[in-house]
Amino acid sequence: MSDNPELTFHGAARTVTGSCATVELGDARILIDCGLFQGSRSLENLNVAEFAFPPKSVDAVILTHAHIDHCGLLPKLVARGFDGPIFCTAPTAELLSFMLADSARIQEFEAQRRNRRRDRANRAEFHPIYTEEDARLAASRARPIPLEEWFEPAPGFRVRLWNAGHILGSASAEIEAGGVRMLFSGDLGPEQKAFHADPEGPTGLDYVVCESTYGDRSRPRLTIAERRDLLAREVNEALGRGGNLIVPSFALERTQELLLDIGYLLDDERIPGVPVFVDSPLAIRATDVFAAHAGELEDLDGRNVFRHPGIRHTAEAEESMRIDSYDRAIIIAASGMCEAGRVRHHLRNNLARPDSTVLFVGYQAQGTLGRVILEGASKVRISGEDIDVRARIRRIDSYSAHADRGELVQWVGQRAPISGAVFLDHGEPDALAAFTAALHDLDAGLNVVVPEIGARYRLVAGGPPEHIATVAPPAPVHVGRDWQNEYTEFATGLRDQLLEIDDPRTRERAIAAMRKVLDEYRTGAQTPEEHRRHSRPGRRKPPPRRRRRF
């Protein structure tokens, strides 16, 4: 093993979920985050695959915050043999127990649901990634650490945490090892963020690993008052249509910000006093933690916004089902990207209604149901059912818990001088490219590296990193939309397309032709290049004439 520390990216490289990296020095190894991959099924396969390192070899985990894409594979890590401490801030430790337990329940429920589906009748049984007991054991390993105090998680390592301004308890991690100083940003919050002070951090580093979620986007600089004005307009327009307002929301932080603003708007009579539901047991538990830390939060002005009399918290499933009987209600439900949880039930009941509105207030990763809806799909599939999208689809960017491009550039600039490199992770390709260009505008000589999953680097004090190797991940990685996204989109529109063919026999021939193409691909009788060559416009037979209907 080298005397220099070595850094390996195991997740959130050229994608926005699955945050995980190792830093090794001698025989010591620490893990920075251990998050769940979210998005396309191909990307989610990495959650099932074995870790690229032996979990027993990890001395400690440094956890930046409690969002599931940063902590959601900790139960699997423990189940595979990790028995060390998980260092994090005190609020993160409090949030971790029910964040992980909720994730485990989702894993177990999704396994049961998939195994019950008729289209899986002859396929191997699907197993959850981990259980609630695994989640409990992982949460019990949390060790709270104050901000800006040095501690030693493993031999040869010194670490201290800095406020990241992202969510309650979020932190950036400064790490010293083998004479090298590095800083992992975690997720960084924007300016004018409710509840939290602006991000902080040290200066004069060798390496910075910086998130890039909104590296290609500049948002209008809105004050909290201006954000409430925007929300009021959206709520009033939605309710004026006579239907429900569905707000897919992350249970942690985003829901509490909405409670803050909706409470103010209700008190000031700027929105109607319609039923407002927080339909997420996880969000309700997270709100209790926020209430316990109310004295540490900004922007409350002495109000108890977390228990507003006009807002109903529906913890039980029976209460959630009764929401179906309401019209002109505001329904805030998890998950924020519509990949699981009760929001899928509300979408299934409301997407086909032209009088309903779906308001997105958070990031939608490629391949997620939320992204598909936001990008204008006319039909989506939810739990095996095809749903027409007739509801009004809206979006507010001002609730983002992530810094935008300008704020990210400013944060990196404040860390100067950076002598080795800035690694960019937690971003999709367009965001990474735009953020790289912006950093070079800031400092043309800045060394910017965009790693792949599996990329391994030797770090040298005062100099550029040495790329040692890129180890292929244990499962194929497909960032963004994959074949299953394409299949769902194709399948949900197939019947309507066939009905546009007037002649039933022509429809039969179309189906037979599609089956033939699939058989040729399945048996290898036709390669993709051969199919493209045979399908060129000049070689196509003219389509059969449609019969006129009278």
DSSP per-residue letters across 407-448: HHHHHHHHT--EEEEEEEES--HHHHHHHHHHHHHH-TT--E
Q: How far is CA 519 from CA 380, 482, 487, 488, 509, in A?
A: 26, 21, 16, 19, 15
- SS3 label, residue 541: coil
- Burial class of 110 by CB neighbour count within 10 A (0 to 12, 13 to 18, 19+): middle
Cis peptide before 417 (omega within 30 of 0): yes
The answer to whether the Cα torsion of 211, 212, 214, 220 is positive or negative is positive
Give CB contacts under 8 A, 24+ apart, made by 220-226: 220/398, 221/191, 221/192, 222/192, 222/398, 223/192, 224/192, 224/194, 224/261, 224/299, 226/398
What pLDDT score was predicted for residue 529?
58
One-letter amino acid of 390: R
What pLDDT score was predicted for residue 550?
26
DSSP E strand boundaries for 187-241: 205-211
Q: Which two tokens stand for residue 24?
A: 């090794």
Q: pLDDT digit of tens for each residue in the chain (550 aa)?
A: 468 999 999 999 999 999 999 999 999 999 999 999 987 777 888 999 999 999 999 999 999 999 999 999 999 999 999 999 999 999 999 999 999 999 999 888 888 877 776 555 667 787 899 999 999 999 999 999 999 999 999 999 999 999 999 999 999 999 999 999 999 999 999 987 899 999 999 999 999 999 999 999 998 888 899 999 999 999 999 999 999 999 999 999 999 999 999 999 999 999 999 999 999 999 999 999 999 999 989 988 877 888 899 999 999 999 999 999 999 999 999 999 998 889 999 999 999 999 999 999 988 988 889 999 999 999 999 988 899 999 999 999 889 899 999 999 999 999 999 999 999 999 999 999 999 999 999 999 999 999 999 999 999 999 999 999 998 766 555 555 666 667 666 777 777 788 888 888 888 888 888 888 888 887 776 555 555 555 554 444 444 444 333 2
Encode 483-517: b = buried (16+ Cβ within 10 Å), e = exposed: eebeebbeebeeeeeeeebeeeebeeebeeeeeee
Cis peptide before 335 (omega within 30 of 0): yes
What pLDDT score was predicted for residue 2?
65
Q: Which two tokens stand for residue 484?
A: 């299953």
- Residue from 5, 168, 176 nearest 92 by CA: 168
- Residue from 475, 525, 517 nearest 46 by CA: 475
- Residue from 483, 470, 486, 489 nearest 14 by CA: 470
What pLDDT score was predicted for residue 374?
95
In whole angstroms, what is the distance from residue 47 CA to residue 35 CA?
9
In whole angstroms, what is the distance from residue 437 CA to residue 448 CA?
9
In whole angstroms, what is the distance from residue 270 CA to residue 272 CA?
7
One-letter amino acid of 468: I
- Residue 170's contacts (CB-CB under 8 Å, 6 or more residues apart) are 64, 65, 89, 92, 163, 164, 186, 187, 189, 196
In whole angstroms, what is the distance from residue 243 CA to residue 391 CA?
9
> For 232-286, what is each residue's pLDDT tens digit?
999 999 999 999 999 999 999 999 999 999 999 999 999 999 999 999 999 999 9
**Cα angle: 154, vertex 156, 162; to 5 degrees:** 70
In whole angstroms, what is the distance from residue 390 CA to residue 339 CA?
20
Please provide residue 338's backbone torsions phi and psi, each rounded to the nearest 5 degrees. 65, 25
- Residue from 442, 448, 400 nearest 218 by CA: 400
Q: Which two tokens stand for residue 134?
A: 């695994």
In whole angstroms, what is the distance from residue 14 CA to residue 478 CA?
10
In whole angstroms, what is the distance from residue 334 CA to residue 451 CA?
31
User: Helices 405-414 & 429-442, crossing angle to 10 degrees?
Assistant: 50
Q: Which residues pair with 25 in a beta bridge?
A: 28
In whole angstroms, what is the distance from residue 213 CA to residue 16 CA?
6
DSSP E strand boundaries for 72-170: 86-88, 142-144, 157-163
